[in-house]
Each structure stands twice: as C-alpha cells, then as structure tokens.
Structure 1
Amino acid sequence: MTERSTSAPGTLSRGLAIIEYVAAHGEVSMQQLADGLDLSRSATYRIVGQLREHGFVTERADGTGVRLGVAAVRVGLQALAQTDLFAIAPPQLRRLVHDTAETAFLAVMDNDEMVYVLQEIGTQAVKMSSKLGSRAPIHCTGLGKAYLSALAEPERREIVSRLELIHYTPTTLTTPQALLAEVERSRLRGFAIDDSEREPDVRCLAAPVVGHDRKPVAALSVGGPAARIRAHETSIAGLVRNAARELSRQLGAPDLQEEAR
C-alpha cells in the first residue's frame, strides 16, 4: 500500500491498513508500521495518533510499541457475535457441491462425536450412513480427524486417550498411536482423509473450520465413492481447504498462510 493521498479517503484507508497490520503482527514499532505499509514516518505518527485518540490502538508509555486498543477489540467482538456459522456455511457447501458434484457436510463435535449439522447433496450422490443430525465417531471420519488436527497437541491427546476405537472396516485406525500419527499428517497437509474407515468404498476429504482464537468450531468435508474421490483427490482437497479457510476467515480467524510467509 503506497502513500498516494492526504485526502480523507486516503487517510481512512491507511488507518484501516494500520489496524489490520497490528492485528496480524501483534505489538509493532512505528518503524515496522512505516516499513510494512510503505508510509512515511510523519504519516505513520499522525495516523496512529488519530487512531489512539479513538481507542483503536494504544502505545507503550515510552512510545516503542503499538498494539490494538479497546475500541478495536470491542468492534471485533461485536462483529464475531453477529456472525452465525449456520448462516455463512451453506454457500460454501453449495459451492463445493457445484464444483465436485459430490456431497458436502459440515459437522461439529459434541461429547467426543461429530454431529452432522449441515448437508448439501451432490448430483452424483451415493447412499451413505452420514445423514443430517446423525452422529459419527471421531476416529474413523475425515471430519473428526480434521477437527482433532486443529487442536493443540495436549488437548488432542487427551481426547484420543478416552475414545473407544471401534473397528468398522479393515482400514479403521484402532490404536491411539496410529490415530495420532494420522491426525498429525492431516495437520501438516491441511486436510484429513477417511479412507473407507467407517463405510467400505466411501472416501471423504475434510478440513477444520477455526474461530478467531484459532480453535476448531467445526469441520467440513466432501465424500463419495472411493475410486471417484481418489481420481480427483488433489483438486477436491484444494477446494475443501479453501472452503474451510474462507469460513474460518469469516469467523475472524487469522490467515495462517499469510502469517507463515
């Protein structure tokens, strides 16, 4: 972003950019702000001063650091309170169905089980036991493993330690060690796989949806016949990851990809 104008719209744009930069990077110095947003030091000090007057940023007493102020936090929390997962998720599920022709699901965790709360049926849908309102074990579903992958490791291990790892098919993971290893692989690649672990010849790809605190609030998936999903696995996995990332963004989650750059 370049310092193109001293008009009110330009000042507003730069003020919002400063708020977003501080939100993404935490406490930063004036020099970091100026360098990161390609602003002059004088413009940076002037706009930060205006934001400070309105409570959107605050500074250390010695002036060495800028961080978000109470007003920014209050506005953010109010926006999150008005964001309803069940209102924003259906368009993402419909887009997944349009792009894959398979069935898409959204599930939340309840009492160590995944509960299917939203569903969009694809044009190539096949009969699956996963139905709206039904429950499924965490250990043998892509949704469950995706949800676990977004948890901190201690919490992940605690949940896995109390699960009853029932054997459903030859590919079901039935030991804590195997399940934790697969969840970690899911975390690293950005999506989880149900490799016919609950129903023979059904394969699902899933990704976690996280909130502003980076904790999982749900998981979404696309499922269908194993051979058909495998044939398009790379593209479907990308679509699922993108849909989960967009839902997470709308819920106030930081862009973890951007942070990693």
Structure 2
Amino acid sequence: MFRNTTRAEPGLRERTRQQRGDSLFVQSVERAMQVLSAFHYADGPLTLSDIAQRAGVDRSAAQRMVHTLRALGYIRRDADAHGFLPGIRILDHTLDALRLDPLVRRATPVLQELRRSVRERIDLSLFDDLRVVYAVRLQTKHQTLNSSLVGHSVPTFCTSGGWAILSKLPEDTVRGILERSDRTPFTPHTITDPEAILDKVAETRANGYSLALNQILIGEIAAGFPVLDTDGRPVAAVHIAASLADWTPEDYAARIVPLGQEAARAISQY
C-alpha cells in the first residue's frame, strides 16, 4: 500500500488541560478552527455531517459555525450545492503569513536566482515537526498541481529537505519524530525503516546535504539543504528537484549541490 496525499500529518496538537483552563483561551475560536480544519484531508465538498464528524463537534454546533463562516466568506457552497468548500477569504491569511514572514522574504530573491542558475524546481519548506510545508515554489514547465501549490506538505522522514533538517537535530529528537511518523511509503523505494532513515540522516550530516531518489515520486531526484536560525536550529530547508531521466546522481551532486549549499547559507541566520 502506497500513500498519495496533498498534506502530511503535522504531529500532535492536542491542547493540555492547563491550556484549556487558561482564562484567555477561547474555546469557540478553537471550534471554529476545527471546522475549517475539517477540509485538510478532503478530496471534494463536505456535507454538514462530514464537517461535524471531522471537526469532532455535534451537528448543531457545526451548523452554527458553518453558517457564521459562510457569512464571513471563509466557507462557501460548492457550485452544485452538494456540500461546502473553503472560501476565498482564507487566501487573504495565506498571503499575510507569507508576506510578513522574515524567512520567506529573505529567501525569495535568493531562490529566484538559484532557479535561474539550475533551471530545475526550487522549493523552500518550513519545518513543522512530522512534516515540512512548502512556502515558496519555483517551478519548471512540467509539474503536477500538488507540486506547484504553496501549503502542500510532505513527511519529514522521507524527503530531502526533511533529512537535511533532521541532520541538524539531536538523535533523540530525530528518533522521536520517526516513532511518531506515519511511515506509509509513497513509492516502492521510500525508506521507512527507522535505522535506515537514521543512516540517511547521518550521511546527510557528514556531507552537509541530502540526496533523495524516488522517495516521493518515481523518477525524481532531490537535494536538500538545511536553513538555520540565529541559534543554529533548523527551521527550513531548500529543495532542488529534477528528473532522473535528465541526471545521474553523480552529475546532479557535482552540478547542483554547490549552488544549493550557497543558497541555504545565504538564507540562514548565523
């Protein structure tokens, strides 16, 4: 069984009893976000019952939340009135998150220059525990929808950027991420054994970059480079992806890796 998803598992986000008991914590806001989050793994419009089940609220609460969010433009009816879809107003917040993020602002001109140099797909992903989330995507001409969308996410354990990030973390933290990850493979070549993944992380740490073959897509080669904050912690990764029909791993490493390393250093805050 292989996995095919547009969104990887972000990790545990359960609220503690202390958080829920905080006088400043607004539970109605939490429920509204649960309703919006119901669409995360949907492959089409959701009915009111679908939303209630996925959000973990009763149907009456879901109805009130959906009504309010529709009035505000955050949920809409689909064209055939079969259910509900996210509304256009959500895109306003996506824009705000990206344009105000100092890392994204600093990285974008560097990645644009990198794209002109290598002429392959360039991505910047942000580290989010069990997954990396793409915040900048500079494409080649032949790409799928998922590979072009900002917000698409993939697991940390089996991606070039994920290995690059893991290489900068303590081993006990890496093991914890692997233990909590859903390691269902994407392809017959996806590495899922924890010890084999640790070997890849160690190799990445020694080389200063990762090289992933056929991990998410058959025929894809991707190099990953860690991006660090001022404390030396990994916060993101630069990915450069191409086709194995166009490159041998040796030629790819020789041509692409030095440029990727230079870009990651330029984006990192040392």
Place the TM-score, normalised by the shorter chain, in its bin.
0.5 to 0.7
Residue pair 1:93, 1:119 contacting (<8 A) in 2 also: no
Question: Take 1:239 and 1:211, find their aligned partners in 2: how far apart are those partners?
Answer: 20
Please list every run of 5 or more consecutive structure 2 residues that lacks an aligned counterpart in the other structure.
Answer: 1-99
Aligned 1:51-200 pairs, distance under 5 A? 84-122=102-140, 125-127=142-144, 129-130=146-147, 131-200=149-218
Name which of structure 1's ranges 144-153 and 201-210 shifts more when overlaid on structure 2: 144-153
Question: Are the aligned partners of 1:102 and 1:125 in contact in 2 as well (CA < 8 Å)?
Answer: no
Q: Secondary structure at the match of 1:222?
A: strand
Could you tell me whether the CA contact under 8 Å between 2:129 and 2:156 is conserved in 1? no
Q: Read off the aligned partner of 1:106 and give its amino acid letter.
A: L
1:30 equivalent in structure 2: none
**Runs ≥4 residues deviating over 3 A:** 124-129
Residue pairs, 1:41-56, within 5 angstroms: none
Distance in structure 2 (CA, Å) of the matches to 1:167 and 1:112? 15
* Aligned match of 1:220: 238
Q: CA deviation at 1:128?
A: 7.0
Partner residue, 1:205: 223
Question: Measured at CA, do residues 224 and 128 of structure 1 come closer, stay the same or move farther in structure 2, by a change above 3 Å?
Answer: farther
Equivalent position amino acid for 2:265 in 1: R
CA distance in 2, matches of 1:202, 1:90: 24
Shift in Å, 1:111: 4.2
Q: How many residues are matched?
A: 168
Q: How many Å separate the matches in 2 of 1:190 and 1:117? A: 22
The alignment partner of 1:228 has SS state of: coil
Amino acid in the other structure paired with 2:246:
R
Q: Which moved more, 1:130-139 or 1:198-207?
A: 130-139
Q: Does residue 236 of the first structure (1) align with residue 256 of the second (2)?
A: yes
Q: Residue type matched to 1:108 in 2? A: L
Deviations 1:92-139 (A, max 9, x none): 1111111111010000122411110111123x5443743321111112
Normalised by the size of structure 2, how large is the TM-score?
0.58
Residue aligning to 1:49: none
Question: How far is the alpha carbon of 1:242 from its aligned partner?
Answer: 1.1
1:247 CA displacement:
1.0
Q: Does structure 1 retain, via aligned residues, the 8 Å contact 2:126–2:133?
A: yes
Where does 1:17-28 land on structure 2 (aligned, <5 Å)?
Answer: none
Alpha-carbon distance in 1 for matches of 2:109, 2:131 = 25
Distance 2:252 2:145 in 1: 19
CA distance in 2, matches of 1:116, 1:229: 24
Deviates more, 1:228-237 or 1:134-143: 228-237
Q: Flag the 1:90–1:107 CA change in 2: closer, same or farther, 3 A.
A: same
- 1:126/1:225 contact within 8 Å kept: no
Whether contact under 8 Å (1:143, 1:220) holds in the other structure is: yes
Check whether the contact 1:223–1:229 (CA below 8 A) recurs between aligned residues.
no
User: What is the identity, as a one-letter code, of the residue corresponding to 2:125?
Assistant: A
Change (3 A) 1:191 1:125: farther
Q: What value does the CA root-mean-square deviation take over the aligned residues?
A: 1.9
Query: Which structure would you say has the larger Rg?
Result: 1
